[in-house]
Amino acid sequence: MPPSAKAKITKADKTRARLIEVATRLFQEHGSGEVTVRRIAAAAKIEAGSIYYHFASRDEIMRAVLESGVGGAHEEVMQAIAKAGPDCSPLERFRAALSAHFKYTLRRHFSSRMKEIRRLPKRLRDHHMKQEREYAAVFAGLLKEAQRKGLLRPGFDLPVVRMLAIGALTWAAEWYDPAGAKSPDDVADELMRVLTGGIAR
Amino acid sequence: MPPSAKAKITKADKTRARLIEVATRLFQEHGSGEVTVRRIAAAAKIEAGSIYYHFASRDEIMRAVLESGVGGAHEEVMQAIAKAGPDCSPLERFRAALSAHFKYTLRRHFSSRMKEIRRLPKRLRDHHMKQEREYAAVFAGLLKEAQRKGLLRPGFDLPVVRMLAIGALTWAAEWYDPAGAKSPDDVADELMRVLTGGIAR
DNA sequence: GCAGTTATCTAACGCTTGTTCGAAAGCGTA
DNA sequence: TACGCTTTCGAACAAGCGTTAGATAACTGC
């Protein structure tokens, strides 16, 4: 037994992680319904039956993909906020958070779609929605802080604004062309400029 | 033969329209991959085999759904712009267009997703993308007009701004709760207020 | 190198899928 | 009522689906 028994990474752990990674990509590329267990297996260079050593069912794979997706985004967004530093303006941190969200969505090709969640068994669905609420709370917190510090004009429905902003970027992952002239940061910056200052004279 | 041979609406036309309507709803509710020909048939109160009298294949149904979806949105958006009148500001017309887009997306439960388009045979895909470009051009035209009239601050990438704005609402159709306090117009208005004036002080 | 656990393969199952096709039914016209 | 055209049915197909289970291979600690 190795010195640290807790941290033991088995072969199964690695295979499981690879399966989630591959499934995430396939789900996002083709839509959840078109991705078969056999296709996930093929993409992970494994036989279809072997998947059931790691997951009890196809739904279980989906749950893991969603959990890993939101979890990963949450983590990276928190890191981006931390990197921006606690001293800079909440709006500047909000910008960093949006940018991280966008880049994660692009890289992991992940976005949690309501439709897919609705199909899940209730138990799994509840857990996922809780996770998603926690993720949204990060952005909400930054906006509230900005409001508290008097950085915002009054009269906005901040939850709606938050959803619109995040949604604009989540959708941007659908049309963004990595081969184009704009970097992901350019897009996030453009959104932030519109969001803070508006485009009208 | 009836007086006007051209305008004859056959029984098949009605069934075909019903199939597109039902398929549109199912595609959006469950995602394209999960909707089977048999389910579409059942929802349209017809036998599965009968569908192939109206459509050559499942892909052909999808193409029709996309075409009808973008076409319908285009039409309603144009109407909303016309209703606003040519005299009002381009930004006011842009607002009307966004609102119409959102309401259509909500009502028809339709959004054209890139993933689904990529799967289509090249021929059909090209036609659809042309249609989609024409739709986008309506919004682009309004922003350009606003710019030409000096209503906008300089330094924005208008195509990106346009995609972000439309995307925010397209995605909003995923989280918007019709049972909530806000009307679709409220959401579109909120977006327009953020878009024009910004939230920052 | 052997034993025992861990991980993967392989073949099969019952079911559903998209699609086809000949027969049946509906329907306007004479 | 009988005809021909249009529309729908209903059974069948090959292929692919998620899933299972027993045999096989790959590791691990002694």
Q: What is the CATH number of the domain that holds B51?
A: 1.10.10.60
Residue A3 lies in a domain: no
**CB proximity B98 to A under 8 Å:** no
Shared domain for B193 and B124, answered yes or no, is yes
Report if CB B42 to strand C is under 7 Å: no
Higher pLDDT, B123 or A99: A99
Q: Dump pLDDT digits (tens) for B114-124.
A: 667 777 777 77
Report how many Cβ contacts below 8 Å link chain A to chain B. 154
Residue B60 lies in a domain: no
Higher pLDDT, B140 or B111: B140
Annotate chain B with DSSP letters as a single string: --S-STT---HHHHHHHHHHHHHHHHHHHH-GGG--HHHHHHHTTS-GGGHHHH-SSHHHHHHHHHHHHHHHHHHHHHHHHHHH-TTS-HHHHHHHHHHHHHHHHHHHT----HHHHHHS-HHHHHHHHHHHHHHHHHHHHHHHHHHHTT-B-SS--HHHHHHHHHHHHHHHHHH--TTSS--HHHHHHHHHHHHHH-SB-
A23 CA to D25 C1' in angstroms comes to 26
Q: Residue B29's pLDDT is what?
A: 83
Residue A103 lies in a domain: yes
Shared domain for A83 and A132, answered yes or no, is yes
**CB proximity A46 to B under 8 Å:** no
**CB proximity A133 to B under 8 Å:** no
Q: What total of structural domains would you count in chain A?
A: 2
| CATH label of the domain that carries residue B123 | 1.10.357.10
Residue A5 lies in a domain: no
Asked if B152 lies within 8 A of A201 by C-beta distance, the reply is yes
Shared domain for B44 and B84, answered yes or no, is no
Residue of A nearest to B119 (CA): A30
Whether A58 has a pLDDT exceeding 90, the answer reads: yes
Query: Token pair for residue A106?
Result: 């692009």
Q: Residue A112's pLDDT is what?
A: 67
Q: Dump pLDDT digits (tens) for A109-118.
A: 777 666 677 7
**CB proximity A5 to B under 8 Å:** no
Q: Dump pLDDT digits (tens) for A126-183.
A: 888 899 999 999 999 999 999 999 999 999 999 999 999 999 999 999 899 999 999 9
Shared domain for B14 and B98, answered yes or no, is no
- Rounded Cα distance, B59 and B65, in Å: 10
C-alpha R_g of chain B: 19
Q: Read off the pLDDT of each residue in B129-139 and give the average, rounded to a whole number.
A: 95
Residue A45 lies in a domain: yes
Residue B1 lies in a domain: no
Shared domain for B137 and B48, answered yes or no, is no
Domain encompassing residue A158 = 67-197
Whether A69 has a pLDDT exceeding 80, the answer reads: yes
Shared domain for A34 and A84, answered yes or no, is no
Shared domain for B155 and B79, answered yes or no, is yes
Residue A2 pLDDT class (50, 70, 90 cuts): very low
- Rounded to the nearest integer, the mean pLDDT of chain A is 91
A51 CA to D29 C1' in angstroms comes to 27
Annotate A6-56 with DSSP letters as a single string: TT---HHHHHHHHHHHHHHHHHHHH-GGG--HHHHHHHTTS-GGGHHHH-S
Shared domain for B135 and B187, answered yes or no, is yes
Full-prediction pTM beyond 0.85?
yes
Shared domain for B46 and B87, answered yes or no, is no
Q: Residue A3's pLDDT is what?
A: 35
Residue A40 pLDDT class (50, 70, 90 cuts): very high
Asked if A190 lies within 8 A of B32 by C-beta distance, the reply is no
Residues 49-88 of B with CB under 8 A from A: none
Q: Residue B66's pLDDT is what?
A: 92
Best probe of the B interface among A37, A99, A164, by most B CBs < 10 A, is A164
Which range, of A23-27, A170-174, A196-200, B7-11, averages the lowest pLDDT? B7-11
At A144, which helix (H) or strand (E)?
helix A122-148
Shared domain for A73 and A151, answered yes or no, is yes
The contacts of residue A8 (CB under 8 Å, 6+ apart) are: A2
Q: Read off the pLDDT of each residue in A35-48 and give the average, rounded to a whole number.
A: 96
- Report the SS3 class of residue A105: helix
Shared domain for A73 and A50, answered yes or no, is no
Q: Residue A80's pLDDT is what?
A: 98
- Rounded Cα distance, A77 and A64, in Å: 20
Asked if B34 lies within 8 A of A33 by C-beta distance, the reply is yes
Q: Read off the pLDDT of each residue in A93-115 and give the average, rounded to a whole number.
A: 87
Whether B113 has a pLDDT exceeding 70, the answer reads: no
Residue B48 lies in a domain: yes
Residue A62 lies in a domain: no
Shared domain for A149 and A89, answered yes or no, is yes
Whether B20 has a pLDDT exceeding 90, the answer reads: yes
Best probe of the A interface among B93, B161, B194, B196, by most A CBs < 10 A, is B194
